[in-house]
Chains A and B, each alone.
Chain A
Amino acid sequence: MTVLSIQSLSMRFDQPGGVAVQALKDVSLDLRQGELMSVLGPSGCGKTTLLNILAGFLAPTSGSVTLGGKPVTGPGAERGMVFQQGALFEWMSVRENVGFGPRMKGMPKAELREIVDHLLDTMGLKDFKEKAVYELSGGMQQRVALARCLANDPDVILMDEPLGALDALTREKMQGLVLRLWKETGKTIVLITHSVEEALLLGERLVVMAPRPGRIHREYRLPFAEMGAGQDLRGIKKHPEFARTREEILGMIWDMEEEIMGRVEAG
């Protein structure tokens, strides 16, 4: 069943006195309930723009987004966001951050407490509930951001390079966590990343975008996310199919970047 439907989305940024930037052109996608989709592409190909439109922070110049049949016209609690960093409220404790969404809806205190406790326990943040967020490490902060999003129980989770600012080891652990949460909660997830490996691991579906104008270049259906939910992630990376796909996509993105550079140099 399609939850999130994106129909021929185009986005043009008109700059005063400059050339208009075609950030997205004719992008169409349908996401099924519980699908995990990763989006990959060279810098500036419109990934963040796409996500912002899905979240409702931007209105597209043309095309439409519907969620469960209803058109998206602005931000809403049914579409949760996880940002790269700096989106936690540092004037609140970890507990208050995680409980923010339900609290705004007026959920009773006892129930709220239970949800937040449960989430923080499963995220391994049991001992940090009353801490200030700026006292946590970057990895912990991203776990808080994930927990905050999940506490609100959205239909779709949108993530813009959620693990981009983490070191390699923490990042790998967090990838495992995202996969586990996906399996456990059955949420529909769109995840933007710069890392090809991450895109392969965290995508049943992988969309590779191309720049200028931003468009969908290729789509893959991948088995790795399904495998990874029960297995050690490093084992999957040794899989020959994994290595082959990675090389293929790397080459594809490399070519795109080369082309951009060439165009820039040519004038």
Chain B
Amino acid sequence: MSATTAETPRLRPTRALILRGLLLAGLLILALLPLLNRLPPDHALHASDFIVSVSGKWMCYAMLALAIDLAWGYAGILSLGHGAFFALGGYAIGMHLMRLIGPRGVYGHPVLPDFMVFLGWTELPWYWWGFQFFPFALLMALAVPGLLAGLLGWLAFRSRITGVYLSIITQAMTYALMLAFFRNDMGFGGNNGFTDFKELLGMKLNTAGARAALFYAALLSLSGAVLLCRHLTRSKLGRVLVAVRDAESRVRFLGYSTVSVKLSVFVLSAMLAGLGGALYVPLVGIINPGEFSPGNSIEAVIWVAVGGRGTLVGALLGAFSVNAVKTWLTSFAPDLWLFALGGLFVAVTLFLPRGLIGLMRKGEER
């Protein structure tokens, strides 16, 4: 890492300390949640099953937010289709979970998942091969989103498609995938998707132990993703990304291949989103084509905008805070949520262009 970071105080030291403190406190609370869940229900510090399961989900969303922030906040690539990468990662692990059900399905077929038997299929399609192995499924959860992003990015960046056109293309991508996954003959369970999972890595799902293990897997992955993004954004590559975001042609003029710079960050971002989805599906126990819905991707972009794009803490803060509000609001007025989300987006755009994190940096030399 270059020593120039010492010369670039982006935050006043006290504020940086406060942020770091908040991050550590958040991490500590999350790390303790499954333990607090074991306390007797009448204990003051008892964490309910609901809190644990909902925070597990939010951690997966935070990975998605991080992925979007890396592409949008740093490199200026506004993807409105990142939910598709998340869903593809989820489907990859879902396929593994389906194969692990084995003969315990309703139809008792030794290999074929129930929905295939129901459709009258007699053989496993070739693209389901290998998914009985966890490492293969995990690899696919990263590789499929990565390859798709690579292909899309290569086509778009090479023809210098940027800004709103790129956003529209990514939005169209997730919509097209949603329609495709809704079809029964695609072999992904149609509109029901996958559910009724039994076990993962030898653990029976739906036990307290499995839930805690999945929770810690999400926490570890999220921490790893934060460290990876931190390393990247503080490297010279991170500065090149910011330069591409602000003046792409100038960067090209300096001799950088902006296509390969953007492509590499877009692929990495899609893989992070895929990992988020892969952690999400065992936690929630279901995946269906609704995860591809364009609204999901837009909502995830709003998390990042609310938290503050271009800062990693902002993405995390946005994912947790917006989802906390959503959980709270939908518990008594689910119909209000979309209006609240829209209002939030407008308010942030107008009054807090740099998100909640911008509040902390107010008054600083820009």
- The finding on whether chains A and B are genuine partners in a shared complex, rather than unrelated, reads no
Interface residues of B (CB under 8 A from A): none
Interface residues of A (CB under 8 A from B): none
